[in-house]
Amino acid sequence: MNRLEGKVAIITGAASGLGRADAEALVREGAKVLLTDVNEASGLDLASALNDRHSGCAQFALHDVRDEARWGEVVAEAKRRFGGLHILVNNAGVVVVATPETTTLEQFRFTNAVMSEGVFLGCKAAIPVMRDSGGGSIVNMSSVASHLGYPMFFAYSAAKGAVRAMTKAVAVHCQANKYHIRCNSIHAGAIDTPMVAKANAELGIKREDYEAAPWGLGKPEDVANLVVYLASDESRFVNGTEILIDNALTVQ
């Protein structure tokens, strides 16, 4: 407990799935968290539930990660409400089920705007405030889709590949400038989230199919536990790396 005491975090896409699990885990470990999402109702409900358990630990901000101006406002809001910024979890994501041949340009641009441009804008806005707060940790949600060939998730794979590369560049940039900001990416496999369930339903893949596979189906908490570690000072020498959390899926 209290592994993140005194730290302030922003989590994007926090209203459900991995973001929700991340928020619950960070708050449990003592962090103050600004939850952001385009789903206002669910985001407000989560903030209320977290504050019922830990008064004053969470606030919600309506936030489209594609909006550069809004990023500046969200980072300023975290600083105003909680006094600084030490952790950024770039988690917001979308998935379009389409192959290289069937993906439209509009779908490709939308997917990459959320997960590639959104991560870029988040890092750009957060770095100066994190630096002034004494440093911290950026955790970018990538995916095993950046390692494996998933033609049905073509745009998603492209965006997650960009996240993988940007993470390393941010880590080196911050290190070279002595900002004391680490940046790492998480590459999850099959995790039981609403987004994964929706995509599988479109493909006709049943939950039992995942559960019967050798690697199985992970839980959001499995990823959240790793986020806590990367956000904490325990991982102070972990920087610029990509961590697979896929129960050996990528080495089959």
Q: Which residue among the candidates 150, 156, 210, 229 is catalytic per the annotation?
A: 156
Domain parsing of the chain, residue ranges: 8-243
| 8-12 and 242-245 strand pairing | unpaired
DSSP codes joined into one string, 119-157: HHHHHHHHHHHHHHTT-EEEEEE--GGGTS--TTBHHHH
Query: How many other CB atoms sit within 10 Å of the CB of residue 206?
Result: 11
Model confidence at 246, pLDDT cuts 50, 70, 90, reads: very high
Tell me how far apart the alpha carbons of residues 147 and 149 are, in angstroms, rounded to a whole number: 7
Decide: pTM greater than 0.95: yes
pLDDT-derived band of residue 200, with 50, 70 and 90 as boundaries? confident
Q: Is 179 a catalytic residue?
A: no
Dump the DSSP string for 165-215: HHHHHHHHHHHHTT--EEEEEEEE-SB--HHHHHHHHHHT--HHHHHHSTT
Taking only the tens place, the pLDDT of each residue in 147-180 is 999 999 999 999 999 999 999 999 999 999 999 9
Q: Does the domain at residues 8-243 carry the CATH identifier 3.40.718.10?
A: no
- What is the pLDDT of the chain when averaged over all its residues? 96
